[in-house]
A and B are shown apart, each in its own frame.
Chain A
Amino acid sequence: MSKHWQSFGELNNTEAYQKSLQNEFKEDLPFEMDGTLLDAQTPRRDFLKYLGFTTAAAAIAASCEVPVKKSIPFANRPEDIVPGVANYYATTYVNGGEAVSIVAKVRDGRPIKIEGNDLSTITRGGTSARVQASVLDLYDGARLRFPTIGGKEVTFDAIDKELSTAIAGSVVILSSTVNSPSSLEVIKQFLAKYPNSKHVQYDAISYSGILAANKICYGKQVLPSYKFDTAKAIVSIGADFLGTWISPIEYARQYAKGKKLSAKNPEMSRHIAFETVASLTGSNADERFLHRPSETGAVVLGLLNAINGTAPNITDKKLAAGIEKAAKALKAANGEALVVCGSNDVNVQVVVNAINEAIGANGKTIDFATANNTSVSLDTDFATLLDSKVDTLIVVDSNPVYTWGDSAKVKNWLKGIATTVSFGAKADETSSLCKYQIPSHHYLESWGDAEIVTDHYSFLQPTINPLFKTRQWQDSLLKWTGSAIDYVGTLKASWSAKLGGENAWDKILQEGIWSTVATTATASVFASTGVETAKTALAAMPISKGVELQLYQKISIGAGEGASNPWLMEMPDPVTRATWDNYLIVSPSKAKTLLNIDLNNNGQSDSYEVVVKKKVVEITVGNKKAKLPVLIIPGTHPETVGIAVGYGRTAKIGKTVNGNEEKPVGENAFQFATLANGAVSFSVADVKLSLTSELYPVALTQTHNIYNTDQGNRTEVMKELTLAELKHNPNEVLEERMEELKPYTGLTEKEIEELEKEGKTEEFFDKFRHNGSIYKAYDKPGIKWGMSIDLNACNGCGACVVACTAENNVSVVGKSEVLRFHDMQWLRIDRYYSGNDLDNPSVVFQPLMCQHCDNAPCENVCPVAATNHSSEGLNQMTYNRCIGTRYCANNCPYKVRRFNWADYTGSDSFSGNQDEMNDTVLYMNEDLTRMVLNPDVTVRARGVIEKCSFCVQRLQEGKLKAKKASRPLETGGESKSWDLKVACQQSCPTEAIVFGNVNDSKSAVSAHRENNANRLFYSLEQLHVMPNVSYMAKVRNIEEEKTEHKA
Chain B
Amino acid sequence: MSLKYESQLREPLVYGNKTYHQVTEDIIRPIEAKPSKLWYIGFYIAVALLLFGVYSIYRDVTYGIGQWNLNKTIGWGWDITNFVWWVGIGHAGTLISAILLLFRQGWRTGVNRAAEAMTIFAVMCAGQFPIWHMGRVWMAFFVMPYPNSRGPLWVNFNSPLLWDVFAISTYFTVSLLFWYSGLIPDLATVRDRAKTKLRKHLYGISSFGWTGSTKHWQRHESLSLVLAGLSTPLVLSVHTIVSFDFATSVIPGWHTTIFPPYFVAGAVFSGFAMVQSLMVIVRKVFGMEDYITMGHIEAMNKVIVLTGSIVGIAYLTELFMGWYSQSKYEGYTFWYSRANLFSPYGWSYWGMMACNVISPQIFWSRKMRRNLFVTFFMSVLVNVGMWFERFVIIVTSLYRDYLPSSWSVYYSPSVWEIGFYLGSFGLFFTCFFLFAKYMPVIAVAEIKYVLKISGESYKDDMANIEVKEAGEFAHEYAH
* Residues on A facing B (Cβ under 8 Å): 602-603, 606-607, 609-612, 700, 702-707, 709-714, 717, 817, 820-823, 828, 830-832, 846, 848, 857, 860-865, 881-887, 889-891, 893-895, 897-903, 908, 910, 913, 916, 941-945, 1019-1020, 1023, 1025
Contact = CB atoms under 8 A, between A and B. Distances in A.
A891 B251 contact: yes
A890 B398 contact: yes
A863 B165 contact: yes
- Secondary structure at the A interface, as helix, strand, loop or mixed, is loop
B135 A943 contact: yes
B73 interface: yes
A716 B407 CA distance: 16
B404 A704 contact: yes
B306 to A, nearest CB: 33
Contact of A711 (B70, B160, B336): B336
Chain B CB within 10 A, most for which of A712, A886, A894, A900: A886
Given A609-B407, A887-B159, A899 B402 contact: no
Contacts of A822: 66, 71-72
Contact of A942 (B64, B69, B405, B406): B64
27 contacts: A610-B408, A610-B409, A611-B409, A702-B406, A704-B404, A710-B336, A711-B328, A714-B328, A821-B71, A821-B73, A823-B72, A830-B405, A857-B249, A863-B161, A865-B156, A885-B135, A886-B135, A890-B75, A893-B251, A900-B64, A902-B63, A913-B62, A913-B63, A941-B136, A943-B64, A943-B65, A1025-B250
A941 B64 CA distance: 10
Nearest to B76: A890
Given A710-B336, A942-B64, 7 more contacts: A823-B72, A861-B159, A865-B153, A885-B134, A886-B76, A901-B64, A1023-B250
Contacts of A857: 249-250
B404 A706 contact: yes
B407 A709 contact: no
Given A607-B344, A943-B134, A895 B250 contact: no
A830 B410 contact: no
A139 to B, nearest CB: 26
Contacts of B331: 711-712
B286 to A, nearest CB: 42
A895 B73 contact: yes
A714 B135 CA distance: 33
Given A817-B66, A884-B136, A891-B250, A714 B404 contact: yes
A864 B142 contact: yes
A602 B346 CA distance: 13
Interface of B: 62-66, 69-76, 130, 133-137, 139-140, 142-143, 153-156, 158-162, 165, 245, 248-251, 328-329, 331-332, 335-336, 340, 342-344, 398, 400-410
Contact of A893 (B70, B139, B402): B402
A913 B73 contact: no
A25 B71 CA distance: 60
Q: B interface, by DSSP: helix, strand, loop or mixed?
A: loop
Contacts of B407: 609, 703-704
A909 to B, nearest CB: 8
A336 B410 CA distance: 50
A606 B403 CA distance: 16
A883 B63 contact: no
Contacts of B156: 860, 862-865
A891 B401 CA distance: 10
B344 A606 contact: yes
A341 to B, nearest CB: 33
Nearest to B342: A603
Contact of B153 (A848, A881, A1020): A881
A717 to B, nearest CB: 6
Given A861-B249, A863-B165, A913-B63, A885 B344 contact: no
Nearest to A914: B63
A612 B402 contact: no
B135 A884 contact: yes
Contact of A820 (B69, B160, B344): B69
Contacts of B408: 610, 703, 821
B135 to A, nearest CB: 2
Contacts of A1023: 250, 402
A831 B155 contact: no
Nearest to B407: A704
A899 B403 contact: no
Nearest to B408: A821
A514 to B, nearest CB: 44
A891 B255 CA distance: 10
Contact of A602 (B72, B75, B343, B401): B343
A290 to B, nearest CB: 24
Contacts of A1019: 403
B63 A916 contact: yes
B139 A883 contact: yes
B26 to A, nearest CB: 48
Top 8 A-B residue pairs of the complex, sorted by shortest distance between their CB atoms: A884-B135, A943-B135, A712-B328, A901-B66, A821-B71, A886-B75, A830-B405, A895-B406
A848 B404 CA distance: 13
Contacts of A902: 63-64, 66
A891 B80 CA distance: 14
Given A884-B135, A885-B134, A711 B405 contact: no
A857 B134 CA distance: 19
Q: Which of A612, A864, A884, A1019 has the most CB of B within 10 A?
A: A864
Contacts of B158: 860-861
Contacts of B336: 709-711
Nearest to A901: B66
B268 to A, nearest CB: 26
Contacts of B69: 820
Contacts of B398: 890
B402 A1020 contact: yes
Given A714-B404, A862-B156, A889-B75, A709 B135 contact: no
Contact of B404 (A717, A821, A861, A886): A717
A895 B407 CA distance: 9
B347 to A, nearest CB: 12
A715 to B, nearest CB: 9
- Of B69, B153, B250, chain A has the most CB atoms within 10 Å of the CB of B250
A860 B135 contact: no
Given A895-B406, A902-B64, A890 B344 contact: no
Contacts of B75: 886-887, 889-890, 899
Nearest to A601: B342
Nearest to A1024: B250
